Amino acid sequence: MLKAMLLSLCLVLAAAPTSPFAAETGHGFGKYRFGQACQTLFSGPSFAEEKARPVWDAKFQMFGLTHDPEIYAQSPFVLHYDRDETPTFEGVPLGRVYYGCNKKTGLFSLVVMSHDLLAVPKLVQKASKRFGPPTMTTMIQTIWNLPDLYVQIDQVFMIIYDSRAGKPGGAS
């Protein structure tokens, strides 16, 4: 009996993700999981609301960030960031991580990571290792359009969107 319980415990521990990268790219970022309530996740004293908003460009099938109040009013997201965070993505330094919360549901469903232009090849390499070959690659962006995640790396941002929350443009 004890032997069976010990074996079961070993199997459970072996199946648990051991890499922080798994937590960063699976269904969330770091300790934050997609689908959790933003009010509890991003309400501490070190958190602030970003003025820019992610907007889906249906023509180019990609996210962009805008500071234009008329345009960002259309965004289904509000972005929060931790002023005290020094983020990395699998060892690649990031400028800042913005956590996107759906305005209607209040749930965490998007991560926007700012990065240096020189980090792009490393980020693409790390993402390719995790997600497989990209769905689309151009001179300025690399995209993985997976069944449950949309991942975009461009010259300034890496964006991970939880597709289970609906289409990127805000439609269900």
Candidates 141, 126, 37, 29; CA nearest to 87 is: 29
Listed in sequence order, the residues at least 6 apart from 63 whose beta carbon sits closer than 8 Å to its beta carbon are: 54, 55, 56, 57, 112, 152, 157, 159, 161, 168
Rounded-to-integer distance, Cα 82 and Cα 110, Å? 15
**62 lies in some domain:** yes
**6 lies in some domain:** no
- Give the Cβ contact number of residue 9 at 10 Å: 10
**40 lies in some domain:** yes
Number of domains in the chain: 1
pLDDT at res. 134? 98
**98 lies in some domain:** yes
**77 lies in some domain:** yes
**46 lies in some domain:** yes
pLDDT at res. 169? 63
- pLDDT tens-digit profile, the chain (172 residues): 444 433 333 333 333 333 333 344 458 888 999 999 999 999 999 999 999 999 998 888 889 999 998 888 889 999 999 999 999 999 999 999 999 999 999 999 999 999 999 999 999 999 999 999 999 999 999 999 999 999 999 999 999 999 988 877 655 4
pLDDT at res. 106? 95
pLDDT at res. 71? 86
pLDDT at res. 94? 96
Query: Residue 128 belongs to what domain range?
Result: 26-165
Strand partners, 22: none
Strand partners, 160: 111, 151
Candidates 54, 56, 75; CA nearest to 65 is: 54
